[in-house]
Structure 1
């Protein structure tokens, strides 16, 4: 069962999101909050697997809340949920350690897929957000490629293989099946990769993989 914290200052939005999540028998909303401070308090009390955070909240916005949760509860994966798709929000959310970014205007199936993905150790961006990120990377891929390749050159061949699969958006379980190893081995590889690349999460690692040319263009 995936335990979820839902934080949004609009009660109607929370009700709608909760209804979508409750339709999945594998997801349980264990706590709700109307602002960032409450979200942190509820997270510390319930220790959810996933925290769904609105970006614009009173007292402490979603970005600051995500950063605090990353420090206090590193085992809780964060998904930013917002109506805003500006690049600045996306960049700040990912730099702050968020594992996912979803737009409220997206398909409800994206919400469920995102929760399952980050709970399984993967990263998840809604298609619209992914398009923005890939477009941005595509424009700067050549200029950043040399630096990214230099960073990935420090990895072992197996670590580069795992990084490439992370870049494709695969979860630890999917990577384990692809490489015919146990999931614990993949977790160890991913942990080592994050440390050696000096990145905060799988999204940032995926960006390095893309810039280094480890992930083929689609």
Structure 2
């Protein structure tokens, strides 16, 4: 049910209700014993996944409704249940923390995944560096661009948002860029000069040659 919520519901409030019911059903199905047994490796068990998907959906809708702290609390709780973060919760959470200027929590999150080379992660690091006038911001932006060159264009509105056709994200693709902008665009737009800066520092870059 949670996966179909946004297609079936007529309003965001109805979507919220779908996800709330999905989370409640998951909590009942797993029970206290299930949470205790699976905690720390939640996604590794198939029976936990409907609950985790529903909770991620719930957090996303809460954020959309302006209930930002509640959304962040859900994302943080999910990461405690599943530190490996198979769902990629960290990418959404990082953008939200930056949008709320919770830099302390963001730094802690970034440190937990220092070796993450995903485009969303690299762009978030670049934005944080720009906001703090870090001299290494330009280099971080270049690394992010090499991971996905479409993000600057999508952020500036020069490229359209291209949704994934099959639900899977193409690394380096337009759908990955759209996903990042949809989840983290607010943080970019809220930072004066950030979008123009990103466009300028990446304007003359060329993709790495493939061996």
TM-score (norm. length: structure 1) = 0.36
TM-score normalised per structure 2: 0.37
CA radius of gyration, larger in: 2
